[in-house]
């Protein structure tokens, strides 16, 4: 698989070549022990386990940093899965029995070349080279190194690299955008001892074994390395590989289709980047709206209680005014009543008596003061 998974989406998993390449090859080879180098999210691992579940067999999955839970698979497929959390060049030499290997781990010349050398040693002991399927023999890592752990690659084999993206029509990595820009990609495509396909070709030049190499273009390219002796004894495999022969005309066409596909993926990535940026802005705007609406609600409730208070004061004022009006009416009524009383006959006839009474009080007060 070439691309870095985003949100666990299987962009370039080898599982995409299951129907057209991997399953037909495995079905003709009928392996009992399959080695998977590089499992990542386990998309292909699951297919391999299903295959072994159906046909019998076991899977040795090698990956220093797998991103799936092996127990989930074990619950479903039993003890068919052997997980090796290690680098291929450490784990492969320890395996004692396998008939098929799928290489999709660290996509650089040194690692792939070393893996093939280890398998060659194994083949020399067993007398037969197992069927080896490799992914990423096409663009971008066919002719360019990528390092999952650059520090683990000996300096003499490690190319200058950067976490920068690539495009199919430029040899140099891109300052902006491009494919797999979070990976440690060699700065230049096409250097000597660089890339997965170059590693296969260099291995083939060096090996004394009699092997057939068949390249399958598309979806970042795949290929199968198989012992010529195996093909002689396996008609179905021979027929399948023969059918996969691609002439120049078809090859050019597949190349164009692949480049167009990559262009679409690049556009998709750009759209996703914009989408992420816009989503962040949207979230910020939503937070701001939330904050402002909280503030508005607070103001509204403050306003509401102030209005309630104002209404209560207004009501009190109104009832005070009403009370004043009532009392004024009462006063007027009493004043009128008093006026009527002062003008009444009994009040006028009893006036001398009230005068005498007043005098009497004066006299009494004088007498009292003298004593
Ligand atoms: C491209 S992904 C594999 C995808 C998987 N084969 C599929 O088709 O879904 C590469 C994986 O190789 C692993 N890897 C990196 N260096 C490795 C090494 N030296 N040996 C084995 N696996 C390695 C990475 O951790 C990563 O999970």
Q: Residue with the nearest Cα to atom 18 of ligand 1?
A: 87
Strands (E), the chain: 33-37, 58-62, 81-84, 100-103, 131-135, 146-147, 161-162, 184-186, 211-216, 222-227
Looking at the structure, do residues 51 and 184 belong to the same domain, yes or no? Answer: yes
The answer to whether residue 256 is domain-embedded is: no
CATH number of the domain that residue 22 is part of: 3.40.50.150
Q: How far is it, in rounded angstroms, from Cα 37 to Cα 103?
A: 5
- pLDDT-derived band of residue 2, with 50, 70 and 90 as boundaries? very low
pLDDT of residue 7 exceeding 70, the answer is no
pTM reported for the whole predicted model: 0.78
> 120 near 55, Cβ under 8 Å?
no
Does residue 290 share a domain with residue 240? no
Residue 62 has pLDDT above 90, yes or no: yes
Cα separation, 97 vs 57, in Å, equals 11
Q: What residues line ligand 1, using a CB cutoff of 6 Å?
A: 1, 13-15, 37-40, 43-44, 62-65, 87-88, 104-106, 111, 148
Q: Can you tell me the distance from the alpha carbon of 87 to that of 271, in angstroms, rounded to the nearest whole number?
A: 35
Mutate to test the pocket of ligand 1, among 19, 20, 39 (most ligand atoms within 8 A of CB): 39
Q: Ligand 1 centre and the CA of 8: distance in Å?
A: 14
Domain range enclosing 298? 285-364
* Rounded Cα distance, 170 and 12, in Å: 21
> Would the pLDDT of 336 be above 90?
no
Q: Which of 21, 40, 149 to mutate to test the pocket of ligand 1 (most atoms within 8 A of CB)?
A: 40
Residues 215 and 347 in one domain: no
Q: Give a yes or no: residue 253 inside a domain.
A: no
224 within 8 A of 132, measured Cβ to Cβ: yes
> Given a cut of 50, is residue 195 above it in pLDDT?
yes
Average pLDDT value for residue range 129-140: 97
């Amino acid at each position: 698989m070439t691309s870095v998974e985003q949100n666990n989406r299987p962009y370039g998993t080898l599982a995409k070549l299951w129907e057209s390449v991997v399953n037909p090859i495995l079905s003709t080879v009928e392996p009992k022990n399959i080695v998977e180098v590089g499992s990542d999210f386990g998309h292909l691992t699951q297919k391999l386990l299903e295959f072994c579940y159906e046909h019998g067999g076991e899977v040795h999955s090698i990956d220093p940093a797998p991103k799936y839970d092996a127990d989930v698979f074990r619950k479903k497929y039993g003890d068919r899965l052997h997980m090796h959390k290690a680098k291929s060049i450490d784990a492969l030499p320890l395996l004692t029995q396998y008939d098929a290997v799928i290489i999709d781990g660290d996509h650089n010349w040194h690692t792939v070349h070393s893996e093939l050398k280890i398998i060659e040693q194994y083949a020399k002991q067993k007398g037969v080279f197992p069927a080896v399927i490799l992914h990423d023999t096409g663009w971008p890592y066919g002719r360019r190194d990528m390092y999952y752990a650059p520090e683990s690659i000996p300096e003499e084999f490690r190319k200058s690299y950067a976490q920068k993206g690539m495009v199919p029509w430029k040899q140099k990595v891109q300052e902006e955008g491009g494919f797999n820009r979070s990976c440690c990609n060699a700065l230049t495509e096409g250097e000597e001892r660089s890339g997965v396909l170059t590693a296969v070709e260099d291995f083939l030049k060096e090996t004394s074994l009699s092997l057939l190499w068949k390249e399958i273009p598309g979806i970042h390219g795949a290929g199968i390395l198989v012992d010529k002796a195996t093909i002689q004894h396996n008609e179905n495999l021979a027929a399948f590989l023969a059918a996969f022969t691609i002439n120049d005309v078809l090859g050019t066409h597949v190349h164009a289709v692949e480049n167009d596909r990559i262009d679409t993926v690049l556009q998709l990535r750009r759209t996703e980047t914009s989408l992420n940026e816009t989503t962040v802005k949207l979230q910020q705007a939503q937070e701001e709206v939330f904050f402002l609406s909280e503030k508005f609600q607070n103001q509204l409730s403050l306003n509401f209680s102030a209005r309630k208070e104002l209404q209560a004061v207004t009501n009190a004022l109104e009832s005070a005014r009403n009370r004043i009006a009532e009392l004024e009416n009462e006063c007027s009524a009493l004043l009128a009543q008093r006026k009527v009383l002062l003008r009444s006959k009994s009040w006028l006839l009893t006036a001398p008596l009230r005068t005498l009474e007043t005098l009497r009080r004066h006299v009494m007060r004088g007498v009292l003061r003298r004593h």
